[in-house]
Amino acid sequence: MRELFFKGTPQLETERLILRKLKLQDADDIFEYAADKEVTRYLTWETHKSVEDARKFINFILDKYKKDEAGEWGIVLKETGKLIGSIGMPWHDKKNKRAEIGFVLSRKYWGQGIMPEAVNRVLQFAFAEMGLNRIECCHALHNEKSGRVMQKVGMSFEGIAREKILAKNKFWDVKQYAILRSDWERLRKTPSFTCYN
């Protein structure tokens, strides 16, 4: 049997969160945050206009799960069972053991350290279970709150990648961050580093 790159996208857990595969029943929860222009302002995808846009996204991911091409998790708050965002590796490079992380969270939950908690768990999965060596992440120049998440999980700023992304009819300069497996192993042994899980 061929080795599954995303290991079947298993359910992951942190203190406050369950990270699990998306399902069609999540459409309303996804639409709730994906229809918010403030949330999608710096994202490459368009603000959802109807719940059908959320269904299309979920179906796209369900199809990828079947082919083991989707490291995409819904972020569920344990306390309420509500799906409040998603995190995934939309791009990967098997040969060089690299992947890129992307994430989004409902505005109501910003500022509570939820995304750093989710990213830390996904990094653990990527390095310890998938055997990757480098995880990258980038954000549109002015989306500094996303940069804060990258800094909090120990990623290093590597520079500005000019016109890296073509989205919403223009090329975007982005701030490029990454963390290596060796950085991650060193950080985990640093007592002052908050690993969240």
Ligand X SMILES: CC(C)(COP(=O)(O)OP(=O)(O)OC[C@H]1O[C@@H](n2cnc3c(N)ncnc32)[C@H](O)[C@@H]1OP(=O)(O)O)[C@@H](O)C(=O)NCCC(=O)NCCS
Choice from 5, 6, 31, 42 touching ligand X (CB under 6 A): 42
- 27 vs 153, beta carbon nearer ligand X: 153
- 113 vs 197, beta carbon nearer ligand X: 113
Total of chain residues touching ligand X, rule CB under 6 A = 20
Binding mask 69-98 for ligand X (x = CB under 6 A): ------------------------------
Sheet bearing 156-167, strands edge to edge = 12-13, 17-20, 71-77, 83-93, 98-105, 134-140, 170-180, 156-167
The minimum distance between CB 187 and ligand X, in angstroms, equals: 16
Binding mask 133-152 for ligand X (x = CB under 6 A): ------x---x-xx-xx--x
Cα(119)–Cα(18) distance, rounded to whole angstroms?
12
9: contact with ligand X by CB under 6 A: no
Cα(74)–Cα(63) distance, rounded to whole angstroms?
15
Choice from 34, 39, 58, 89 touching ligand X (CB under 6 A): 39
The backbone torsions φ and ψ at residue 32, rounded to the nearest 5 degrees and listed phi first, read -55, -45
The minimum distance between CB 75 and ligand X, in angstroms, equals: 9
Output the residue with the shortest Cβ distance to ligand X.
111
Tell me the residue ranges of DSSP E strands in 5-143: 12-13, 17-20, 71-77, 83-93, 98-105, 134-140
- 36 vs 68, beta carbon nearer ligand X: 36
116: contact with ligand X by CB under 6 A: yes
| CA end-to-end distance (rounded Å), the chain | 32
41 half-sphere exposure, CB direction, 13 A CA radius: 11
The minimum distance between CB 83 and ligand X, in angstroms, equals: 13
DSSP annotation of 126 reads I
Cα(115)–Cα(120) distance, rounded to whole angstroms?
8
What is the binding site for ligand X (CB under 6 A)?
39, 42-43, 103-105, 110-116, 139, 143, 145-146, 148-149, 152
